[in-house]
């Protein structure tokens, strides 16, 4: 199995999760009133575990493919079925929702919640995940704008598609990026300084992930505004020594390959 977890999780209904979340939030509000809002998230998680039964903290989940391995730590899992991610941030951001969604997919759970303890009033949002990784291993491939003969293109696709067939689509893009980097030889080989060019010449070097000399790659998970990303990527091409960016947009249903030159 490519996903390793020491606990067998139980997928519960939305109503069952709401009941569990209501109990959790009762404790969370009490903890917030008691401790205030200036502690690190670990303090709040540990206090919750002292007040409730069935709480597992920092659950280790390992994702593997061949020689690649990445370990995640899920903040709070309750009764093997309720996933809660704790934050101590200025606000709940899209990346927090994305992280929670990633964990739900990995643990085959349908419902989770992000809890932010830093604001004066506790921030909290439900995150729902009706999809299951087992059903996301054969997404539609869109490659009308892909140049397969371009440097690095075949290597990228030959590595990525088996990863998706093994894990599924829709996980966080950094996972696919890290795995691709691993199979291309690691950060020392792939993460390379690229000259940035301004009106009067060389400004600085910026490290970017390259498939081949002057050929970068980028993964996104955009549902909309792909044209905006492309516009920004073309500006990057214009102001660096790069000749090509191989761009892959991965959603739960579609993998889109685009070569930008």
The sheet with strand 123-128 has its strands ordered as: 3-4, 55-65, 68-78, 82-87, 111-116, 123-128
Return the percentage of the chain with pLDDT > 90, whole number: 100
The domain total for the chain is 2
Q: % helix / strand / coil in the chain, to the nearest 5?
A: 35, 35, 30
d(CA 198, CA 238): 10
Strands 254-260 and 140-145: parallel
Give the model confidence (pLDDT) of 165-183 as tens digits: 999 999 999 999 999 999 9
What CATH number is attached to the domain comprising 53?
A: 3.40.1350
Give the model confidence (pLDDT) of 189-243 as tens digits: 999 999 999 999 999 999 999 999 999 999 999 999 999 999 999 999 999 999 9
In angstroms, the first-to-last Cα distance of the chain is 38
What is the model's pLDDT at position 173?
97
**One domain for residues 50 and 102:** yes
Is residue 104 very low, low, confident or very high in pLDDT (cuts 50, 70, 90)? very high
**One domain for residues 178 and 204:** yes
What own/partner pairs with CB < 8 Å and gap ≥ 24 does 73-76 have?
74/103, 74/107, 75/41, 75/45, 76/45, 76/48, 76/49
Name the residue range of residue 68's domain.
Answer: 3-130
**One domain for residues 79 and 106:** yes
Average pLDDT score over residue span 67-75: 98
């Amino acid at each position: 199995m490519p996903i390793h977890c020491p606990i067998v999780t139980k997928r519960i209904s939305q109503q069952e999760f709401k009941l569990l979340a209501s109990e959790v939030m009762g404790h969370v509000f009490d903890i917030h009133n008691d401790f205030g809002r200036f502690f690190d998230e670990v303090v709040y998680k540990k206090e919750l575990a002292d007040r409730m039964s069935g709480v597992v903290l920092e659950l280790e989940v390992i994702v593997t493919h061949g020689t690649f391995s990445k370990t995640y730590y899920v903040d709070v899992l309750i009764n093997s079925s309720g996933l809660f991610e704790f934050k101590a941030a200025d606000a709940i951001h899209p990346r927090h929702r994305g992280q929670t969604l990633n964990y739900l997919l990995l643990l085959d759970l349908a419902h989770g919640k992000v809890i932010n303890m830093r604001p004066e009033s506790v921030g909290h949002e439900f995150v729902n995940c009706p999809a299951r990784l087992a059903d996301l291993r054969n997404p539609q491939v869109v490659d009308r704008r892909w140049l397969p003969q371009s440097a690095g293109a075949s290597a990228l696709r030959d590595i990525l598609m088996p990863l998706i067939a093994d894990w599924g689509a829709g996980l966080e893009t950094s996972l696919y990026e890290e795995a691709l980097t691993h199979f291309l030889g690691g950060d020392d080989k792939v993460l390379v300084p690229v000259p940035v060019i301004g009106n009067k010449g060389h400004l600085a070097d910026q490290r970017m992930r390259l498939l081949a000399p002057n050929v970068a790659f980028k993964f996104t998970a955009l549902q909309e505004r792909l044209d905006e990303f492309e516009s920004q990527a073309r500006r990057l091409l214009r102001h660096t020594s790069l000749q090509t960016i191989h761009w892959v947009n991965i959603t739960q249903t579609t993998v889109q390959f685009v070569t930008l030159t």
